[in-house]
Structure 1
Amino acid sequence: MSDGGESMTPDPTRSKVGRLIDEYEMTGAGAELEDRWLGRGRESQSLRTLAEWFNERLLSARLDRAGDPPLEGEAANLYRLLTDENVGAGARVDAESTLERAGIDPEGLRSEFVSHQAIHTYLREYRGASKERTPGDRREQVRTTVQRLRGRLVAVAENGLESLAEAGAIALGEFDVIVEVRVFCEDCGTATPVTELLSDGGCECGLDGE
């Protein structure tokens, strides 16, 4: 029984990720997953990338336990051969044979690989990690996405026009491609560049009542 009013930390071994960490003595894996996800001391990594990292580490731990510790990069390569849809049947069979020689059942190993959803559940529910963003963070993310897409559109237009001009399909001198994304608000009637709108926190509708 728990003491009245005290919250209990969920047992991480109740999750698939936590159980595997405990079963195969993957010391520090939980903390590193959290650091990689939150970007502590490094660039933040996606859940899918973390699932791949964890599964490669799991494969390495299985080989260690079988008395056949992998060489550097070997676990990552074996994981790719076992899971990548673009890998040929022959290469996959060779990878499975490598595992079988070490006494590891390939299908059993595959069943232990975790999904990005399992990583997310483990981090949020069993480690209490959160990546909640402030409104400013979310605005910056939108700004970055819009600017990236704008840059791609400019590049596509420039390359296409240069190709047509060189082929004599159009007459065109020195040129610049200018792409501006403006947001028209039907309520206040303003048309504002999207980057300016994000920097200002909105259009003139936000001035109502001041």
Structure 2
Amino acid sequence: MVSSVWAALGLSLTCISALSLISPAWFQTPTFSFGVLTYCAWPQGDSWNQSCVTFRSLEDIPDFAWKVSAVMLLGGWLLLAFNAILLLSWAMAPKGLCPRRGSGPMPGVQAAAATATIVGLLVFPISLASPFAKEVCEASSAYHGGRCQVGWGYVTAISSAVLASLLPVISWPSVTNVQGTTILFSSDTEKIILVPKRNK
């Protein structure tokens, strides 16, 4: 049961991260918006009539910081997807094959995904100083949007990064050791029998 919950959380987090990654609404003006991989333009007051363009390769991305951010965010998403597949296969495996059930087989993969995503999110606003962003946002600079406002895509990416960084922390198994005592359960008397550990 617990492993199924972690698998569902991992898959949900992967889908949310993918949605934010392909979203063009990271920074936006009344007639233009851009994200890591896509940008869109539309006539004033007619946001339903959008024309969007996707960056098909790193060479198409207009700024070096933007490229670094794209690589880090894609790497973080791939690690999240890999972790979600591991969690799903671990949840569906027979109990005898995976005796230790709990929060997942590899919390380190999710921690690495969260770290890569956070680095990508911190690097991306540097690209506001690029000629592309300055033309769109008017007087923008690194970490200053100018006329551009933060859109839902960037907020969603931040939320998924926070969740991805919290899940490994809360999933870390807590083990309590009771030293020197063996606990036996007797089915005849339905009592717990404590047997002290003997030194050899």
Structure 1 length-normalised TM? 0.24
Structure (1 or 2) with the greater strand fraction? 2
Give the structure with higher Rg (CA). 1
